[in-house]
Amino acid sequence: MEFSFSATTLIGHGNLVVKNSDGNIMFKIEGSIFSFNGTRVMSDAVGAPIVTLRKKIFSVFDTWKVFRGEGQDKRDLIFIVERASIFQMKTKLAVFLAENKYEDVCDYTVQTSWFERSCQVNVGDSSTKLAQVCISKTNMRKNSWLDRLFSGEDRFEVMVYPNVDCAFIVALIVILDEIVSNSRRSPKHKCNGGGVFSSLFLIVCFFFFFFLKHRQNRDTTFFCFHPTPQRDNLNYYS
């Protein structure tokens, strides 16, 4: 199934509308994009809540929990989404179903491409795709589909494979956008995503200047005056 994203931006809010290929509304996502708790509610076309996305406060891995309806109890938990690792060259999310108690192996993954122009949802760490998202051909000249998701100007093509819940895919895409957007506004962005290149560059520069300083100190020893040892210590002159 194919559908598209369109968005409208209000002051302090990012209301996302998901439409199918015929232009009919499938889902609506509401909630403040700058709220402290990061809660988003996804409803159907008539406004009935389907799931609630709740961000875990002070989470190292940017953890989000998805509940049925507007619930927040453990019994309403459907799945958990978080970064697969702290340091990432490309953003990758791990998805754990509520039944996955130990969370040692993820049930699904979400991973962006280089420059975040597209993403795909896979089963676990396998290559089996459930869905893929990319910026439309008419907007390829723009920097990043994640950067412009709430601009209301772009069109994002979503392909969902058969027997896959579209609401599940939409919830993952919204969480992905929230995590990437928040990381770019946060100081820790330097350790994730695009900021990793800046970190690597600074590390390379540090070792380069350290090498030059060490080399300079070593070379100057050839021109240093070394005082003659004391006569008392030169037994072979005796």
Q: What is the pLDDT of residues 117-151, one digit of tens each?
A: 789 999 999 999 999 988 665 555 454 545 555 44
Average the pLDDT over 208-218 and give the result: 65
Q: Compute the mean pLDDT over every residue in the chain, rounded to the nearest whole number.
A: 75
Q: Is the pLDDT at 212 greater than 80, yes or no?
A: no
Considering just the CA atoms, what is the radius of gyration of the chain in Å?
26
The percentage of the chain sitting over the pLDDT mark of 70, rounded to a whole number, equals 59
**Per-state percent for the chain, helix, strand, coil, to nearest 5:** 30, 30, 40
Contact 193, 176 (CB under 8 A): no
Q: Torsion-angle region of residue 183: left (phi > 0), alpha (psi -120 to 50) or beta?
A: alpha
Lowest mean pLDDT among 48-52, 68-72, 220-224: 220-224
Which pLDDT score, from 0 to 100, does residue 206 have? 63
Q: Is the pTM here over 0.85, yes or no?
A: no
User: Per DSSP, which regions of the chain are E strands?
Assistant: 2-10, 13-20, 25-30, 40-43, 49-55, 64-68, 77-83, 92-97, 108-112, 118-123, 129-135, 156-160
Closest CA to 183 of 60, 43, 28, 70: 60
Mean pLDDT, rounded, for 24-37: 74
Dump pLDDT digits (tens) for 156-167: 788 899 999 999
pLDDT band at 6 (very low <50, low <70, confident <90, very high): low
The average pLDDT across 19-37 equals 76
Query: Is a pLDDT exceeding 80 seen at residue 228?
Result: no
Rounded-to-integer distance, Cα 74 and Cα 159, Å: 31
CA angle at residue 95 from 109 to 78, to 5 degrees?
Answer: 145
State the residue for tokens 């800046």. Answer: 198
Q: Is 104 exposed, middle or buried (CB count within 10 Å of its CB: 0-12, 13-18, 19+)?
A: exposed
> Is 29 within 8 Å of 179 (Cβ atoms)?
no
Residue 227 DSSP symbol:
P
